[in-house]
Amino acid sequence: MKVLVTGGAGFIGSHVVDLLLKKGYNVSIVDDLSTGRVENLNTKAKFFNLDICDKKLRNVFKKEKFDFVVHHAAHINVRNSVKNPMFDANSNILGSINLLECCRDFKIRKIVYASTGGAIYGEPEYLPADEKHPVKPLCPYGISKHVVEHYLELYQKLYGINFVALRYANVYGPRQDPLGEAGVVAIFTGKYLKNEIPTIFGDGKQTRDFVYVRDVAESNLLSLEKNISGIFNIGTGIETSVNDLSKKLEKITKSKVKAKHGSAVPGEVRRIALDIKLAKKVLGWRPKIKLDAGMKETVEWTRKNQ
């Protein structure tokens, strides 16, 4: 089976590529390397240096004749989306429509889409938030990711393209881009290893649901292989405060510095944790890596590669 992974040089996408290749899939990557890294590229995959907004994307589809698409290419920075919503919408919405049109014209069987659970629900009315929770994003990034979910539902109804949308919690792990939604782990790890003082925005009592990247890659594989469509939360259901996260990383890295506090950032939720019962029931997926173990692996990877 032939699979296209957009954003396959990025943090999460590259782990998905590695897993698909390990499972015997024929994998191609489309990535413009604006945030993805050459060193993340798996040499066993074909690589096309291309923006998903580019009309030349059709040529890749025509040449390769894919069966499936796993869509991770996106503008992923919450704070930048607040500053520049037009850029965010162009990349995340228009780029995705360009991709979907290719899927439509070249008869793709299914698309797996990386959505967000950390930014889509807004300030939760209840925790953990399930897929039926009202969608009330606090930032353009959350809006743009949600809009594409509607397009996926429409393309399924109109053109028969099956889809799975995975609403990620805050993904962390080796290769993490510090600009990403859960960049706090990468940023703090790098700072502590250099004995530089990291900044906690606000009082640090804000909570996040941290899920390990290899567990997330597994959810993509299951979404591809199972005969299902729909939207699923991918997380742990566990809240961890930024203060607690910082203390854990300080201890693991044996750093000699302490974090400082700065001003709170607009557009970011106060608390979030995702209900993953549906993913467990329908996908057969559950997180396997605990936070402490995942952070130790992340620190060791960063120590070797920083």
Helices then strands, each counted (H, E), the chain: 11, 13
Buried b (16+ CB within 10 A) or exposed e, 5-14: bbbbbbbbbb
How many Å apart are CA 101 and CA 5, to the nearest integer? Answer: 16
128 prior amide bond cis, ω within 30: yes
Give me the sign of the Cα torsion angle 267, 268, 271, 276: positive
Contact predicate 29/17, CB 8 Å: yes
- Closest by CA position to 55, among listed 24, 101, 23, 93: 101
Residues facing 116 on adjacent strands: 168
Structure tokens at 64: 């390769």
Q: Which residues are catalytic?
A: 141
Which contiguous run of DSSP H or E holds residue 188?
Answer: helix 184-193
